Structure 1
Amino acid sequence: MMKSPYLRPTVSFLRRFSTNQFPLKVSPEISQAIHENKPVVSLESTIITHGFPYPENLEMARAVELKIRENGCAPATCAFIKGVPYVGLEDRQIEQLAAKKGVNKVSRRDVGATMAQRLDGGTTIAGTMILSHLAGIDVFATGGLGGVHRDGHITMDVSADLTELSRTPVTVVCAGPKLILDIPRTMEFLETQGVFVGTYNDNGREKVDIPGFFCRSLGVKSPYTFSSWQEIALIVYNQNQVMGLSLGNLVCVPPPSESCLDSGMIESIISAANAEAAKKGIMGKELTPFLLLNIAAATKGKSVDCNRNFVINNAQAACEIAKQLCEMKSSGETNAPAAANLLFQPSTGLKQLKSKQDRGGDEVVSSTKPKDETTIVPSQPVFKDKVDTIILGLVALDTICTLQQKPLLGDSNPGSIAASLGGVGYNVSLAHKYGLQNQNLKNTYRFVSAVGDDLAGSTIINGLKDQDLDISGIKICQGSLTAQYNAVLDSEGSLVVACADMHIFESVGLMNHFSREIEKAQPRQIVVDCNLLPKALECVFAAAASLPLRPAVIVEPTSAPKLARLSQVNSSKLKVFPHNIVLLITPTAAELEQIHSSFAQREFFDDYDTWFPALDSLGIDAVFREKLTAFGLKFPAIKELLQKGTFQQAFQLLPYIPNILVKVGEHGCLLIKLSTNVGDYRSIPTTSRYVPTATLVSSGKVHEDDKNFGIVVEYYDVPEENKHLNVVNVTGAGDSFLGYLSAALVSNNWMGSGIESLEQEWGKWETIYKSQLASGKSLESPLAISEEISKIE
């Protein structure tokens, strides 16, 4: 029978699948630093791609990053690599940009075109501010600022750097506007746009001018001055964190006296170069590099050396500001005595002087504000509701009965009875907490659930408080019964029978609660269990999709019957790769069979427009099937899964859920993953002690950039530590596995379709290995979730 033309995977289709869920790529180092409130300084890349020739540009980029590290901060160089925006580059990426010619220059207007055409791009100040803000970075170091060009009032040649400062809350640390510009009009433009401009008074001088990149003074008075990094950090903190103003701040650091050039000499060079540019018709974005080249030639390269020194000097200053900001965020500080040292230098007749102690003059006198007037400010930052992870699921009062001998039906059995907090969501939340403690991570999380207004509900609320868990996400439902779970275990800890009353969590009325909590938290990651009704799951997925930075959604199956609810979600809400909402599920083989069956019944596998082309591109051919057969001959657990059809079921589900981590009990676990470059897996060093027991990849389909779209299968045998466990309780093993896993994923998200770094891949191996250890700790504990998880080595 002839195939429909709709079934053939096209180049455009493959191109769509070569991207991850959200295009911004933040390096693991930067991501972890941001979410642990450690100082980060971002850097532009046009200085690499357009500012210096190769290899001087590479040497300069490395020197600036080194200076930032030496000052206790993480450097985040921003750029576009093949259309993908990156925050934090590896050294090989910096070298690639430095050596390449014809790299696009990316300001705000160029972002979409650079991405659409998959271009390499060096980010300007404006472009770097955008990427920095999206990543959550507050401070950015550069050389000189763009501005209003000479005769800009006629030509309207005004740098986009200025307008970006008026709309993006990132603090730019520079050596002032470039001397080639109209400095007074640049300052007027920034004042009109409401941008704070302050200059560092590094020697206690009486009059402080704006520096002019190459020169310490241009004769244009700085609106504000400051004499310590704490002062300027406090201004930035109050502007952007306390008041939440959506605009940037310009911090000017005068170049060191030994590095600066004579302003008169530079001015004469610029005048001659401007005249030559006018004759040649050079204008717009071509004008600045033309003028800088002329300055470099006339100064015999001294201006280039100055540029390099200024960038390093500014980077050091930015580090000091970034470190102060981190301290203020940690303490919630909104005011400090140091603020009194700030000097405002207005252009009007009004005057404000520093204290006699500081300047040798009169005490502070202000014509606009009484000396003893107090400013009222909020006591906490405005972003206090945001967390890294939302864990959304069931909390219940569990009663566990353990029999002393073989069960005797129809009669009373001797044993022990213990009541505790339980429920999949609660268990995962508690394991997540222990996982963060074990990995020494400071990522934040919130448990979102519901209880009734009854005795069981009060018991749960008090229990959560005793665990030091955030209860702001727990809704108390009037007139409802709190969820309860009763289980009977045999003397070996295996489940005999259980009864569950979870009706409260099947209420449609909870959907608004879930949506509000997700919107409030703006999480990077959502873990949800399948106790929710399909409509509630749809609500969670829709709320996640509506956020500016779409979070990774992880689904805990709960049980085979309840996992089928995922198939009852409208297929348009699940979406096919690369637009997936759900990135990871962690089923058993039986649960996977159930979800596959329910997807088939709901005709998810009859979508020939989106699902089939994705599946067809995975390279599931005869060669790959032969490899799987050989795989099964080597590992009995794999052979059994092949006979059950587990692999075939997972492959068909991959376009909807690109990461499927199958728990195989005493045989370990199996990661089946969709990849946009399976070739990368052939070159990964395997010297890590956590390396998978075996790895298998399909050949896939080749598309642009010679990348292969295919499948990766990684088998992780059970750890040696788990092979001789004294099993006491099996109820929380799976929840412990996912809780530890989700704690690690916030700082090392490997759920995307590509390998970002060797550290990311090795981190994934370690995480899965230790998630199995977490299961083992709980299997040996009378409690569903063992506190020993926090002590895993």
Structure 2
Amino acid sequence: MGLITPAIGRPRLPQRIISPCFGANRRYLTNNGFFRVSEEVREALNANKPVVALETTIYTHGFPYPENVALASLLESVVRVNGGVPATIGILDGVARVGMNPEEIIRLTESAGKDTTLKLSRRDLAHVCGLRLAGKKFHGGTTIAGTMLLAHLAGIKVFGTGGLGGVHRGAESSMDISADLTELGRTPVTVVSSGCKSFLDIPRTLEYLETEGVYVGTFADGRKGNVDFPAFWSRDSGVKSPTTIENEMEAAAIIHAQHSLRIHSGLLFANPVPEEFAIPKETMDEIIEEAISQAVAAGISGKDNTPFILSKIKELSKGKSIPANRALIESNVRRATIVARELAILDAKQDEAQGRTSSRFNPALSSPASTAKERLSNASISLSDAPPAAPTSQISPNPDIIVAGALAVDFSCDYAPLPHSPDQTHPTPQTSNPAIINQTIGGVAHNIAKAAHLLGASVQLYSVVGDDLAGRAALTKLKDEGFNVDGIETLPYPDRTGQYVAVNNANKDLTLAMADMQILEKVPYSTIGHMFHKISVQKTSPPKVLVVDANWDADALHEWLSLSRSWPNTTTIFEPVSTAKGLRIFPENLHHDTQHPFPHPIVDIITPNSMELKALYDHAFELGLFDHPVWFALVDALGIPSSGLRVPLAVTTTSALVDEGIPQQAVKLLPFFPTILTKLGPEGVLLTQLVRPDDPVLGSAEESQYVLARSKNGDERVGGLYVRLFPAEKVLGSEEVVSVNGVGDTFLGAVAAGLVKGKRVQEVIPFAQRAAALSLMSEESVNPELEKLEGEIGL
């Protein structure tokens, strides 16, 4: 399911509205010892941004750890990607929190199943908050009723959840009726759910809601006429919905009118489970009857009844209820966000009609044909906690290059031996050594982006820093340099800004490096989604180049690559970073899929050093990828002569490289990475390339010497094999080398800058080598004098 749903047209509001909006003079609960609203949510509410409440009982009493963490991250991401601000609501240490940061969500989800983590409805809130004063601190997941109440106290109007509680079967004698229903009767919050669970008494539930004065409508989802009220796992319940809603705009209009009329009850919008995950009503009826029978036989009742039946439904459905459950929750949260977005626009238009202005949210009415991206862009939704930055720091609407990866503080420790030091070249291990230590702003992605930026390219860096001194120093330094920082997210404690420490010998050659990049190893999915949202809102055309480094964890890395597949004309580049991290480029399921073992290609260009190349080769071998028919088909299409390539490879590279197996390893990896730039230090750069049939090198007399094989079987993907060693123009002496940090990153940044100028890789490499040499002679990871080479980039 896609995260962004296309929007629909909305009518213009009357310009003269007599009755004031309920929210115009609202007085909501302020932060105190029992109740806290996060800064992000407060700012969003004050700016009339779309805010969506999210409950936490599904995390504390629905899904086990760490599945609940993943679900929490997903749902917050769904809200952000669709233009809203998530307000996850729960209790931590006896304090009700509206809007929880990642650390708080992890604390709550980790506590699932513990005796001190409770399921909290309206009646329980004063109890758990009050006992904090007596030294008893509880965590708690809020039910729909508890979440509604706290959301209303904060001023939030829309709440997305899974399934509503209801009237239980046999309630005429047991009086077992969910507090969710009475809460809807007295709290003006809109709930978007997939109806109520089908083991409840749905007709009596709807009757009870009518008695409570609760409006109930079901989204038509393209269906005509009166539709059924959904039954959670099933789209139909056999009971007609009181009303039918066509789309999110109609839902928002109803909410807007409800608040304008100051009707102090909630609204329920039922959103059927997505069709592809729905379980037919007849199937669910049989499962539910059996689950209820087993509950009766076991004597299960009261608060234990629902968990028992849910467990039995999972068992009897052979697990099919779980994916349906996840899908409907995600669908409901997405729909709630779009409703909140439409409502924010209506509220803003009313403010405008009554002479009030919003400080941050300036909506524009759009036509039915407008896209979600255009509507978000027109609405100028800002998801940043900070005030609007100066124009120089705004995200460029059309950066030529997007670089995603590590931003860090670099420490370069250069061994400076004393006259009596036992080794005048290498530091002595396990003791203190004299050194010259320099601190700069670095990180692989930062260095790449800075190099491209200095060479005149339009660049946007996406990374994360911690809310610490190093992070603030890094952002300040980048701003001082005129660098764009709006793509950099700040994560709260305990996340730490990345740091890299390089220990070099007296010749400035790397002896040992230590990197703390854990902040990128556990970036919440919501943060990635926030970055993607910024891209989707700000951009009007895809970047020409996307560079991703391997400091992301595997999931985040492949999310970036998945994003790039929607940009067919964008060149993707992968920087492996290290022998261990570089292996993340291979998706985990490669060796399981016998039909399609790998995408073609995984990424367009990779830039390993010789050790990283070998690690990639060995890993592919271990996965058995070189034995697959798809791999054979592509390699056969190269037209490699029966005599092999050892001699021609020795001619176009060197015998030493062939003896090491470096060009051979690169050739075997070409089906995955059609252009490989292997960085060989003083020996230069080895270009190994799978050229397409229309590549100009195939018809060039000058470059024919590097075409070692030509396809003869008419394969549309493969024209031939191009292998060329680019020796370094000048090998610097040890006295000229100041620091090796950032040299490879500078090279890649220069390659990217050249590619956006329309140059071929072959044309760009010599220029990139000159740029890298400049960084060798600089204390900084990227030499500021790179900007002097900008005029050469068009060569």
Give the TM bin, normalised by the shorter chain.
Answer: 0.3 to 0.5
The two structures have a TM-score, normalised by structure 1, of 0.45
The two structures have a TM-score, normalised by structure 2, of 0.45
